[in-house]
């Protein structure tokens, strides 16, 4: 990979997602000193911040337990059902959402992720809670382990045609009483937080 100062970012833009994730530690050591802080932030966005972090760790990257910040959405239809996506990487049902990139606010994270993963445009966001701790520990199929700090939002105002991207096998609305079995869910802790929040709101009415 050519790393001349004037075309580093352009070359990364032209790589596929899988090629970006295979940039070596040695290549990064050569590239990063030639880039400004703003250019490094742009590079993080192109590669994905968690992946970029692991690449910068070299050979120990996949052994390191990474703390990730991100957001997830409880998207509710007019029947009170919640939207789940069947993930392609682990075949489990989870909430739309993802990791925070450098420079993003959490509201920007969820607006971007909902658009990418569901094709929906969000009209209004409501904060449910910030969920952290060991219930947010997750292991990926490649062996990477992370512990997520997740800002959970409630969305019942949105528009657009529901479509899923390459990360998902399916998108489907579920009744809260007819969710997939918990061992088939990716975010059972977040759904429990939502149920408690919903019950508290109904009690106050």
Contact between 136 and 150 (Cβ < 8 Å): yes
Catalytic, out of 5, 121, 170, 182: 170
Give buried/exposed letters for 15-47 (b at 16+ CB in 10 A, else e). eeeeebeebeeeebeebeeebeeeeeebbbeeb
CA distances to 8, 181, 200 from 51, rounded to whole Å, are 18, 30, 38
Sign of CA dihedral 6, 103, 116, 159: negative
Residue 170 annotated in active site:
yes
Rg over alpha carbons for the chain, rounded to the nearest Å, is 19
Residues belonging to the active site: 170
């Amino acid at each position: 990979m050519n790393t001349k100062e004037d075309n580093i970012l352009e070359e990364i833009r032209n790589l596929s997602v899988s090629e970006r994730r295979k940039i070596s530690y040695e290549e990064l050591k050569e590239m990063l000193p030639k880039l400004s802080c703003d250019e490094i932030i742009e590079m993080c966005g192109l590669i994905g911040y968690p992946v970029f972090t692991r690449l910068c760790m070299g050979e120990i990257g996949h052994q390191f337990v990474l703390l990730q910040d991100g957001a997830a959405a409880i998207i509710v239809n007019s029947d009170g059902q919640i939207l789940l996506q069947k993930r392609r990487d682990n075949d489990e049902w989870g909430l739309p959402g993802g990791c925070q990139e450098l420079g993003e606010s959490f509201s920007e994270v969820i607006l971007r992720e909902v658009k990418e993963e569901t094709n929906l445009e969000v009209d209004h966001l409501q904060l449910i809670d910030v969920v952290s701790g060991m219930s947010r520990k997750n292991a990926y199929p490649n062996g990477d382990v992370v512990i997520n700090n997740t800002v959970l939002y409630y969305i019942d105002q949105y528009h657009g045609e529901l479509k899923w991207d390459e990360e998902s096998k399916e998108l489907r609305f579920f009744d809260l009483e007819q969710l997939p079995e918990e061992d088939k869910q990716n975010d059972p802790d977040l759904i429990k937080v939502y149920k408690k929040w919903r019950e508290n709101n109904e009690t106050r009415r």
